[in-house]
Structure 1
Amino acid sequence: MTERQTRQLAAASVVVAVLVLLGASGARRQPPPPGLSVTPAAAASRSPSAAPPSSPAPPPPSSPPALPLSSGGAAGKGAAGSLTLTGTAAVALTFDDGPDPINTPRILQVLREHHVKATFCMVGFRVRDHPELVRQIAADGHTLCNHSWQHLLNLAKREPGYIDWDLRHTNEMIHAAVGPDVPIRYFRAPGGNFTPDLVAKARSLGMESIYWDVDPQDWNHKPDAGSQAHIARVVHDVQRHVRPGSIVLSHDNGQPDTIVVYQRLLPWLLQRYKLEALPCTT
């Protein structure tokens, strides 16, 4: 073979090698077939030793299920996270500031006649003075609620040691009346003046803090010309604002007109709502 032929053969070999390399590179740049992933994760999933991919998670529900009041949940929308709604379709009637030796037995009788259970938020020193009324409230199946020892509207601003004594002593008086096994599940601050620290203190004692959704101001007689006007206004305000899940604020202490209000309201409410003592059941 001549020197010229040798050089031609070497040049041809170089061209062939270049074409081979270009062909291989072009093959690697080809897109994968439709539906086939070439990512490392996908390759690993096709490995015989890899675990099969997990099933996709189900989509989240469009809305959370209703929660009972005692679990908090969406019901906690009042001051400092206190609860304004029952968390169910049931309506809860609450009576504050008693027990009252005149009016509490009367409201208990009205509730008894209509087979309605309610929640009584009681002031500690009145519990001490009228334990027999607390026993009657519990015997009738109503829920007991701590409403502080002496209804200080600035309770949340008092020193922590006093607040602790106030709530504990009120519970002690309630249990002295009805026994230690009767639960006190709820606390309502005087005037609804909750703070995060007060709510936390109540919770540390096993009590959820309850606010309200409907306040007809049955204690406020100033806008009314007389008892009948006051009664009509309170009835109207409850009928206008109550809705499924409402917590209605009322008072049995020193409010005889409230007795008449509920004599008129209960038939109307029972035609439209389920009335339950807290905690409401799902």
Structure 2
Amino acid sequence: MQPVAAACKPVYLTLDTGHMAVAPLIAEVLKKHQVRVTFFAANERTQTGDGSLGTYWAGWWKARAAEGHEFASHTWDHSYWRADVPGAPPQFRIRPSAGPSEGKEFTWTARQYCEEIGKSSARLEEITGKKPLPLFRAPGGKTSPQLLAAARSCGYEHVGWSPAGFLGDELPSDKYPNDMLLKKALRDIQPGDILLAHLGIWSRKDAWAPAVLEPLISGLQSRGFCFQTLREHPQYQAWIEAHTSRVPAQPAK
């Protein structure tokens, strides 16, 4: 009689868009180690000149869908929440960091913010033929209770990351070299953690991926961890099941 294998210790690797230069290398590592992840996508500026959700990258996203990865919105123009605007109905100060309005600040209604989330979801579905998860990640993880309530009202639940899941690829490499980040992650990551990295960070001199990504995956797998997508995360399963069968609602103006 064969011994029953111990249950794996799940972790949830999530990858946000970036300059995309390392995206092909990341895809190779994920395929090699049979790791499925959840991508949070915005139409960010890339090193190819096209947006990360533009025509140039459409084939790359479609290939990831065929491999069984999941997708969700990171807003369309990587738009940062800056503040709630006092009064009712809810309004928010928003600053896009990509697209034609990059660096400008606007006051948006809940409906406008929902449209910003939904635009990325719609583009991902158009490219991949796969319906994205009814989840989103606000750029920088910056939100307010009022913003989160607005997003939920139109069918999107927010996903942040675990404290140990911040993998540090946004940090300057002279102060936080890859070896340091790898050792910290392998030491601190716990079962159930949501991990965060990017498909390329402009400001980091020594690229985090795949230099850290591959040994991190191998190291965690050797310790009995397994990688799952957010579709399998117990915190989001019920929300996903309840919101994938219907078109997201629009909040009242």
TM-score, structure 2 normalization:
0.67
- Greater strand fraction, Structure 1 or Structure 2: 2
Unaligned regions of 5+ residues in structure 1, if any? 1-87
Whether the 8 Å contact between 1:90 and 1:276 is mirrored in structure 2 is: yes
Equivalent-residue separation in structure 2 for 1:247 and 1:90 (angstroms): 9
Of 217, 221, 236, which aligns to 1:266?
217
Equivalent-residue separation in structure 1 for 2:62 and 2:19 (angstroms): 11
> What residue in structure 2 maps to residue 107 of structure 1?
26
Q: Does 1:95 align with 2:40?
A: no
| CA drift at 1:268 | 0.7
Equivalent-residue separation in structure 1 for 2:189 and 2:80 (angstroms): 26
Secondary structure of 1:154's partner?
strand
Give 1:126's aligned amino acid: S
Compared with structure 1, are the counterparts of its residues 137 and 197 closer, same or farther at alpha carbon in structure 2 (3 Å cutoff)? farther
Unaligned regions of 5+ residues in structure 2, if any? 1-7, 44-50, 83-91, 95-107, 235-253
Matches within 5 A, 1:178-193: 178-179=128-129, 181-193=130-142
> What residue in structure 2 maps to residue 65 of structure 1?
none
Whether the 8 Å contact between 1:144 and 1:185 is mirrored in structure 2 is: no
> What residue in structure 1 maps to residue 38 of structure 2?
119
Q: Does 1:242 align with 2:189?
A: yes
Secondary structure of 1:203's partner?
helix
Equivalent-residue separation in structure 2 for 1:183 and 1:162 (angstroms): 20
Q: Does 1:157 align with 2:93?
A: yes
TM-score, structure 1 normalization:
0.61
Whether the 8 Å contact between 1:110 and 1:263 is mirrored in structure 2 is: yes
Deviating runs (4+, > 4 A) in structure 1? none
Secondary structure of 2:76's partner?
coil
Compared with structure 1, are the counterparts of its residues 136 and 98 closer, same or farther at alpha carbon in structure 2 (3 Å cutoff)? farther
> What residue in structure 1 maps to residue 247 of structure 2?
none
> What residue in structure 1 maps to residue 169 of structure 2?
218
Whether the 8 Å contact between 1:149 and 1:170 is mirrored in structure 2 is: yes
Give 1:166's aligned amino acid: E
| CA drift at 1:269 | 0.5
Whether the 8 Å contact between 2:133 and 2:231 is mirrored in structure 1 is: no
What CA deviation, in whole Å up to 9, does each residue of 1:58-81 have, x standing for no partner?
xxxxxxxxxxxxxxxxxxxxxxxx
CA RMSD, Structure 1 to Structure 2 (Å): 2.3
Compared with structure 1, are the counterparts of its residues 201 and 126 closer, same or farther at alpha carbon in structure 2 (3 Å cutoff)? farther
Give 2:93's aligned amino acid: K
Equivalent-residue separation in structure 2 for 1:250 and 1:149 (angstroms): 18
| CA drift at 1:223 | 4.5
